[in-house]
Amino acid sequence: MPRPQPHLEEVLASKPGSHIAALFDFDGTIISGYSATAMLREKFQRREMSMEEIAETAQVIAQHSLGTIGFSGLMSGAAKFMKGVDEQSFIEFGEELYKKHIARKIYPETRAIIEAHQAKGHRVAIISSATIYQIEPTARDLGISDIKCSAYEIEDGVFTGDIIRPLCFGEGKVLAAEELAAEYGLDLDKSFFYSDSDDDIELLERVGKPRPLNPNLKLKAIAEENGWPVQRFGSRGTPSWVDYTRTIYATGSLVGAFAAGLPIWALTRSQREAANFSIGLFGDFATAITGVELEVEDEKHLWSSRPCVFIFNHQSKADVMILAKLIRRDMGGVGKKEIKNIPILGKLMEWGGTVFVDRADGKSAIKAMEPLVDAIKIEGKSICISPEGTRSLTPKLEPFKKGAFHLAMQAGVPIVPIVIHNATDVAPKNEFVMRPATVRVTVLPPVDTSKWTPRTINSHVRDVRNMFLRTLGQPEESVAESVAKEPAPEVASPEVNTEKAKPKKSAAKKPAAKNKVPATKMATKKSSPRKGRAA
């Protein structure tokens, strides 16, 4: 059974209106843990901190923890080491930090609350004591265009080593909220503020609907005293030994499942029947041991048009066991050649019908995938491919490659889209541990490919991708957008499907900044919204 989410249910039942604000703290509220900790860890791993800087940073943190210096002193200590650093390099560092550390720390429950507020037309903003470099990539992913945060002083694109006062901390957050209210005509008495810390007590008391998320002990006590509803999430943060045990058993069950199929192979001499038994067993066992439950819509489409090419959006390593449980039999797939070299696992996947391709060699990949056409036409197998190529960093759908579509055309079979809504709840990209979750899956009707041609392939890819986007509740791609990013013409044959299209690099947008301006104004950031989201 899904865990109750009172905060989300409250938003879904609330009144719509742009006069209502939904304000969010960042660290501990939108993400698990502290972005500053991830930043220091990354700088240390890159060996970008001198021994002197490490020692002084540790001393300042210790003094702040003991209460001998306040947050202003902590920020001043950090700013000192920024002196002379080009701001653009820190913007780029923030983007890298997001990809490597922050993205997988986003609470899926908070994401759901934010999306519910956006659907109600509420003004969603982040008000945080962290800096724009820690926050902006996450805000962009969440479709949040307003950020109020603390800031370092900048002159001519270079950090001066000072901070902008007042900081967005304590009473400074109240000033930030009032600035937003004045700018957008917000009614703070009818607005929400989500936070995990008693450091935010001033703003929690200022809004009409204070909503503690993952509260520390002091805030928990304050909430109980004031009758504020509290919610705590367990989907991120430090895993328990149970989570590790679940994950290890689930991963190892692939070997056990295929071992269980060996007697069938030995007695019947049918590798296909043995593989079918093992695939279904793996899907059932792995989802059960990890506590993953599936809510499947239109499951009938999984069986109505086989053989076919199943395509799915790739969010998590949990997708493998989810697809095994759904498709169960007579299936093959595509994987990157590096997996083939993994002892035992590579052999098992190859035995189960996986074709391995070299992502760096397009011609080799095309040749390697030729047997898949025969597997469909002659053996009657269905092939499962992710047109994104690899796991996406967030639930946002990535661009599609065309290999799966060419394959379906050449084999003369339909495409069956499998839309996975929230497998990142189980395990986001770069996360080892899998956690219990209820995963929603929608199986769309089969897509006829009999009249497709290489000349019209681009429009078909766009149309199918838009089916995924509609089902996921994400903005659809227009014809103009599709044409604008269209690469050079491709050969009309299967291609590598194990790597997502790489977006063109563009200069990172600098946060709007003016020297000697109060932090809540200086650090106001308009994130670059995706099409279809409010600016």
Domain spans, the chain? 16-226, 243-472
In this prediction, residue 392 carries a pLDDT of 87
Distances in Å between the Cα of 112 and the Cα atoms of 12, 21, 116, 419 are 10, 16, 6, 18
Query: Cα–Cα distance between 85 and 92 in angstroms, integer?
Result: 12
In this prediction, residue 482 carries a pLDDT of 63
Confidence of residue 63 (pLDDT cuts 50, 70, 90): low
In this prediction, residue 83 carries a pLDDT of 86
For the chain, helix, strand, coil in percent to 5 are: 45, 15, 40
Cα pseudo-dihedral 400, 442, 244, 242, rounded to 10: 170
Average pLDDT estimate for 368-381: 84
Query: Cα–Cα distance between 101 and 42 in angstroms, integer?
Result: 9
Q: How many CB atoms lie within 10 A of CB 450?
A: 9
Checking if the pLDDT of 462 tops 70, the result is yes
Distances in Å between the Cα of 346 and the Cα atoms of 254, 335, 350 are 11, 10, 6
Distances in Å between the Cα of 245 and the Cα atoms of 251, 314, 433 are 10, 24, 9
Closest listed residue to residue 407, CA positions, set 497, 489, 499:
497
What tens digit of pLDDT does each residue of 159-198 get?
998 999 889 999 999 999 999 999 999 999 999 999 999 9
Cβ neighbors of 129 (< 8 A, separation 6 or more) are 27, 71, 149, 150, 167, 168, 169, 172, 173, 199
Percent of the chain with pLDDT over 90: 58
What tens digit of pLDDT does each residue of 85-95 get?
899 998 999 99
Checking if the pLDDT of 38 tops 90, the result is no
In this prediction, residue 259 carries a pLDDT of 86
Confidence of residue 478 (pLDDT cuts 50, 70, 90): confident
- 113 token code pair: 């609350």
Pairing of strands 331-336, 382-385: parallel
Q: How many CB atoms lie within 10 A of CB 342?
A: 11
Answer CATH for 243-472 from 3.40.50.300, 3.40.1130.10, 3.40.190.10, 1.10.10.60: 3.40.1130.10
In this prediction, residue 13 carries a pLDDT of 94
Cα 71 to its chain centre, rounded Å, is 30
Average pLDDT estimate for 366-375: 75
Average pLDDT estimate for 443-459: 95
How high does pLDDT run on average in the chain? 84
- 38 token code pair: 């991830």
Q: Model-level pTM?
A: 0.78
Confidence of residue 41 (pLDDT cuts 50, 70, 90): confident
Checking if the pLDDT of 497 tops 70, the result is no
* Per-range mean pLDDT, top range of 234-243, 304-313, 357-366: 304-313
* Per-range mean pLDDT, top range of 144-158, 247-261, 515-529: 144-158
Which parts of 307-369 fold into alpha helices (H)? 319-327, 337-340, 345-351, 362-368
At 297 the three-state DSSP class reads strand
Checking if the pLDDT of 42 tops 80, the result is no
What tens digit of pLDDT does each residue of 110-134 get?
999 999 999 999 999 999 999 999 9
Pairing of strands 209-212, 123-131: unpaired
CATH number of 16-226: 3.40.50.1000
In this prediction, residue 364 carries a pLDDT of 56
In this prediction, residue 340 carries a pLDDT of 64
In this prediction, residue 492 carries a pLDDT of 40
For 532, phi then psi, to 5°, come to 100, -10
Query: Cα–Cα distance between 393 and 430 in angstroms, integer?
Result: 9
Confidence of residue 306 (pLDDT cuts 50, 70, 90): very high
Closest listed residue to residue 395, CA positions, set 95, 98, 112:
112
Percent of the chain with pLDDT over 70: 78
